Amino acid sequence: MNVKPMLGDWELPHVITMEALEERTIVEHDIPGQVGSLIQDMNSQPTQVLIDGSVYGEEQSTFLEEVRGKFQEGEAMTFVGDIVTGTQVQYAVIKSLHISINAINPDQVDYSMVLRESPPPPPPADPFGGIDTDMLDAAGDYLDSVTGALDALDALGSIPDIGDPTAPLTSTLETVGDTMDELGSVSTAMTGLFGAG
């Protein structure tokens, strides 16, 4: 192997074989009354890579701790290896892990793992991506102008309550009524005066 298989920053030790499985999902639709069927391509499945290897002696315990830790984390890691040259595989997650020990070779631990392509998630979408930002700026300017107008009114001091204009009119009408009553008595007195003459 020209390129040593790397999973993240971890070099896979003593790799014996690597196999890649690339597969497309093909759906077949039968047509009633006709010979043959329609084939629909549902695009490719994530690439899977099978890796077999062995570790020996004192490196067994270190390897088992590292590989099981990465398997338990279940996080996508970068993957580099000759087997994925020409593919778009950049990230992979350990899908399955098989460890075996044979009594014939007690100092040897054989491992087999399946890596599954796991592309990183797309960046989060901008919720305001489709909104014209000029409108947002205009709304902000309008809010600033309304706030400024309210501040200007507040600076004028107390403004009289003009909600009910009938209170001053009621007192004025009472004064007019009293005046009319007085005119009535004056009118009576004048009538009596002229009637006497």
Sequence letter at residue 50 = L
The closest alpha carbon to 58, from 112, 3, 109, belongs to 109
Name the one residue in this structure whose structure tokens are 């008595």: 185
Taking Cα atoms as reference points, which of 63, 61, 48, 50 lies closest to residue 14?
Answer: 63
- How far apart, in whole angstroms, are the C-alpha atoms of residue 50 and residue 16? 11
Segment 101-110, tens digit of pLDDT: 988 888 999 9
Which pTM was predicted? 0.56
Cβ burial of 55 (10 Å; 0-12, 13-18, 19+) is buried
Give residue limits of the domains in the chain: 6-25+38-117
Cβ–Cβ < 8 Å for 93, 80: no
In this model, does residue 197 exceed pLDDT 60?
A: no
Alpha-carbon distance 115 to 89, whole Å? 11
**CA-closest candidate to residue 94, choices 111, 119, 72:** 72
pLDDT in tens, 128-172: 666 666 666 776 777 777 676 666 666 666 655 666 666 666 777
The predicted-structure confidence for 60-89, as pLDDT tens digits, reads as follows 889 999 999 999 999 999 888 888 887 778
* Predicted pLDDT at 135: 67
Closest CA to 95 of 117, 63, 69, 121: 117
The rounded distance, in Å, linking the Cα atoms of 175 and 75 is 90
Task: Determine the Cα–Cα distance for residues 50 and 150; give it in Å rounded to an integer.
Answer: 71
Six token digits for residue 106: 């007690």
Residue 196 pLDDT greater than 60, yes or no: no
In percent, the amount of the chain with pLDDT more than 70 equals 73
